[in-house]
Every structure is written in C-alpha cells, then in structure tokens.
Amino acid sequence: MTVRLRLFLIQRIKICKNVVSLNFKQKKMKKLFFIAVISVFALSSCCDKEKNIEKEVIITKDSSDVSNSEYQVAATLWFQKSAEARAIYYQTFSYAKLVLDDKLKKDRFKIKKKKPKAVITDIDETVLNNSPYNARLIETGTHFDTKSWTKWVNEKRAEALPGAVDFAHFVKEKGIEIFYISNRSVKNLQTTLENLQNAGFPFADKKHILLKDKTSDKTIRRNIVLKDYDVILYLGDNLRDFDENFKYSKNMNRNDSVNMHSNLFGTNYIAFPNPMYGEWEKEAYKGHFSKTDAEKRKMRIDALDTN
C-alpha cells in the first residue's frame, strides 16, 4: 500500500468518525428536543386545565350571583328601558288629572267653605327616578344601605319620571298645593329639595317636603297636612303611601286588603308600578329580610303560583 493511499484511507476514517459522532450528537439533541417539547405541551396542558378550572369557578360564581339578583336585573331593566313603563307613567298622571278635575267640578256645588285643597305624593319612584342607584347595587353586587343611598341622594341626579312635572304644574295651576311625603331621611332634606327644584317641580320647599325622622309610618306627617288642608288625592308606588293599614303583616294578606278597598283606587289613591323594591317583597320573604341571597332566591321561587 502506497503512502498516498494510506493517508487517503486515514482521512476517510476520520471523516467517518466525525459523521458518526455528529449523528450521535444530533440524535441525542433530537431526543432532548423532543423531551423538551413534550414537557412544554404537558405544562401548557396543565396551565390550560387550571385556567379552565378557574374559568369554571368564575362562571359558576357569576351564575350564582346573577341568579340571586336576576329579579333585580330584570326589574331595573324594565323600569329604565321599557317603553311600556314610560307609557304607564304618562297614562297614570293623565288619569290623575282627570280625577282631579272631576273632584273640583263636584266641589263647586258644595256651599260650605272648606280648607284649601292639597295633593300628597310620594317622591321616590313616584315623581323621581332612582333606578340608577339600583343599577349600581346590581353592578357592585351589594344591597341597599344608608351610606350608598345617602351618596346617591347627595348627587341630586334623580330625574323626573315621565309626566310627573307636567302633572305637578297642572295641580299648581288649579290652585292646589302639593306636599311631598317621603321616607328619605330628614337629614337629606336640603339635597332632596334641590333635586326636586332642579327637576322642575313646584312647591319644592321646606314647608311642602316632609321626610322621615323617627318612623317610616307616614300617618303623622299626613295628619300634619290634613290638619290645615283638604287632601283630595294621594300618589305613590307603595300602598303605605296611602294608608298605614296596608303595611305588611303576617296576619293579613295585602291583596285581600286591596280588594276590600278597591273603590279607593283610581278615586282617592293613584298607584304607580315599582318592580324593584317595596312592601311587596316582605310577602315573599315573610318579613325576613335578614335571610341570605340563596335563601331569598328560594323563597321567591317558592312564592310563585304555578296553578
């Protein structure tokens, strides 16, 4: 074997060794690469699974919250967005004008001079719209409390309900005074007065606004007005705006009470709809407002008549 041939063979052997070595390293790298890829996918899968679990928990929690407050969502949405709700307010105030005119016509034939005439109206959800406050409670997942309510009242942003200002001026033009009797706290007198003034209501002054001091019973405040005035019409969204006898009691069905006094509605009492809150809730909860949301939800469902 010549020297040149020997050198050639040695070079070929070295090249083969390098190729083998490289192939081995590549195979090893490939193996490591595949292991790394599999690990990444495994971790990714775990993360996705955790995210899915977390998402499921959130959805379940949200669904529960929505279920517990769904009647509030639907009620507030109806009050704010429903054209039917707006129509009912226009219709009811228009009817109140007719009732008032009819009473004044009949009064002309009475010889005996009486006290000056007055109309008593509730404020919230009767002439002023506080549904944005309810919407805030839904948005934050909270319930009514004095602090948040006072904050809303102090903003003086409650708008007049459809037909309310027009009716109030109609009453004034007839020579009749309006008294606003509300269960807003007497501490909110100034802000309530300003809110009514800003919305365009007449008689928005300290004489004509009677707010709650110690009790939510409006009888004493109504009697203050009745002492000097002949009250010919009452307006409200809660039956207790008309008479304290409509207050919830375990021994009395409020629907039966309304049936017994049906002749007063549309003549002396003008009622407005309020699906967001009111004395009617006590019927479903049997007077127990301290129940949990879950318990209240069950009680609402149990109170439904399916027959």
Q: pLDDT by residue (tens digit) across 77-111?
A: 999 999 999 999 999 999 999 999 999 998 876 65
Three-state secondary structure readout of the chain: CCHHHHHHHHHHHHHHHHHHHHHHHHHHHHHHHHHHHHHHHHHHHHHHHHHHHHHHHHHHHHHHHHHHHHHHHHHHHHHHHCHHHHHHHHHHHHHHHHHHHHHHHHHCCCCCCCCCEEEEECCECCCEECHHHHHHHHHHCCCCCHHHHHHHHHHCCCEECCCHHHHHHHHHHCCCEEEEEEEEEHHHHHHHHHHHHHHCCCCCCCCCEEEECCCCCCHHHHHHHHHHCEEEEEEECCHHHCCHHHCCECCECHHHHHHHCHHHECCCEEECCCCCCCCHHHHHHCCCCCCCHHHHHHHHHHHCCCC
Q: What is the pLDDT of residue 165?
A: 99
pLDDT grade for 122, boundaries at 50, 70 and 90? very high
As given in the structure block, the two tokens for residue 43 are: 């971790």
Q: What is the pLDDT of residue 295?
A: 87
**From the centroid of its chain, how far is CA 69?**
9
Q: Is 56 exposed, middle or buried (0-12, 13-18, 19+ CB in 10 A)?
A: exposed
The pTM score is 0.77
Q: How many Cβ atoms sit within 10 Å of the Cβ of residue 293? A: 14
Fold of 65-277: Rossmann fold (3.40.50)
Give the mean pLDDT of 110-131: 91
Q: Minimal CA–CA distance to 180: which of 214, 158, 206?
A: 206
Greater confidence (301 vs 96) lies with: 96
pLDDT grade for 71, boundaries at 50, 70 and 90? confident
Greater confidence (28 vs 198) lies with: 198
Q: Is the pLDDT of residue 61 over 90?
A: no
Phi, then psi, of 152 in degrees rounded to 5: -65, -45
- CB 235, CB 270: distance < 8 Å: yes
- Helix axis angle for 164-173 and 83-107, nearest 10°, is 10
Q: 92-122: string of b/e by CB count within 10 Å (b at 16+)?
A: bbeebeebbeebeeeeeeeeeeeeebbbbbb
- CB 115, CB 172: distance < 8 Å: no
What is the separation, in whole angstroms, between the first and last Cα of the chain? 112
